[in-house]
Amino acid sequence: MVEMPTLGKRVKIIAQTPSGSTSHQGVVLPGAAPDHLTIKLANGYNISYPLSSVDSIEEIGDSTTPGKVEHSIDQNQELPKVTIIHTGGTIASKVDYTTGAVIARFEPEELLASVPEILEIANIDAIKLGNMWSDDIRPTHWNKMIDACQNAFDSGSVGVVITHGTDTLHISASALSFAFAGNGGKPAGRIVFTGSQRSSDRASSDATENLLSAVYWAANGPEVTGEGDAAVTVMHAGSGDGVCAVSPGIAVRKMHSTRRNAFQMVNGERISEITITRDGLSHTPTNLSSNREISNPTKYDTNIRIAQFVAGPHLHNDLIDAAINSGYSAILIHGTGLGHLPIENPNGDAPENEELYNTIKSSPIPIIIANQCINGPVDLNVYSKGRNQQEIGVLGHGGTSSPEALLAKVHWALSNGKDLSILEENLCGENQPTLRS
């Protein structure tokens, strides 16, 4: 019996199958089962054979030091044009099996070559904004995404797909939602964010189905209304294969660090679901509608900085003072329950609460409350404490959006000269009126 080759090596194998001898080339992955050889093929798929059925293994290279591969891709010009805007993340990554680390490696062209089925859905244009982990994305990158989307629409694309790391994907989706629809308009085409929880060369990867579904929606989804769908996310709907969820970018949140269905709705419902079968892709009907007109997007002032704190036993006034003295533009506090802060001292044994109260009352910059509970509204009318917070200038009452969507909304409002009273409004699907008091 042949010996198991080294992980990460590029090999040529000859194996016996019920149909006879067959030959493959690919990169060695961890075995799908004990005593099984699993390799990643050039088309992106994995194959696995019992080691006992493998006649020969020839090492032909090392995947850890690849040269750039040029892919010649023929496209059907009759299909809808979709632009893939590549920012990085796990969807564009591979495992370096010599170290065990996931590294960003794919170029846009490599994404197309690894999932050739995309070319049956749309005529693809691919551009690269970077190869960033989503933790490193800042408002300056939101502006670059906004420009790239508008340029794609101006060049004839009916939709764009932004490949993005999942950790902050929902924040960028919120930012683009306000950029394109915050003023009451809508983008000229569909904007779809997608990523993957597991790199494309893992047997359990969600990358292929997420990307296929995202391109499908960008090419074939319903007309954009601007009310919840200005930017959407397309990710796995469950732990299994075959169904991806289309969710409002303004009302979805990453709720799990590893599961494939990590993205869940906050105070709302999915827009649609995309089903993937051998016969192709299809989606469930949608019920969004509006009379909004296509408008040019707005941008984010990258000089604006927003400090974030969490309400609880360790929230002290010196944190608020530090943000004010450091020149922050606003403060967002993730409040407890209905949006409360530790600002009262009924027993006379917590003077720090009174200090926090006085600091907030005299703050020269806006202080806004987000919902630490994630689901449910911020309601500062129910308890006297909430009414006291409103009296000293705390904003955010009536909000039902996720903390991340609220963060983007505050930044967008300050960037575009808006009065922060709009935080109580539903600009583009972020505040669901059915939950508001």
Annotated catalytic sites, by residue?
90, 166-167, 254
Nearest-Å Rg of the Cα atoms of the chain is 25
Is residue 105 within a helix (H) or strand (E), and if so which, with residue range? none
Amino acid residing at 244: C
Query: Tokens standing for 165?
Result: 């790391």
Asked if residue 47 lies in contact with residue 41, where contact means CB atoms within 8 angstroms, the answer is yes
Specify the 3-state DSSP secondary structure of 334: strand
State the amino acid at position 253 in one-letter form: R
CA–chain centroid gap for 307, Å, is 22
Cα–Cα distance for residue pair 69/74, rounded to 1 Å: 16
Task: Return the bridge partners of 93, or none.
Answer: 104
**Identity (one letter) of the amino acid at 259?**
R
Task: Report which residue type is found at 227.
Answer: E
DSSP string for 47-93: EEEEGGGEEEEEEEEETTSPPP--------TTSPEEEEEE--SGGGE
Q: Which amino acid is at 293?
A: E
What is the side-by-side strand order in the sheet with 36-40? 46-50, 36-40, 20-29, 9-17, 54-62
Burial letters 54-76, b for 16+ CB under 10 A, else e: beebeeeeebbeeeeeeeeeeee
Would you list the DSSP string of 262-310? Answer: -EEESSS--SEEEEEETTEEEE--------PPB-PPP---TT--EEEEE
DSSP 127-196: EE-----GGG--HHHHHHHHHHHHHHHHTT-SEEEEE--STTHHHHHHHHHHHHHTTS-B-SSEEEEE--
**Which amino acid is it at 252?**
V
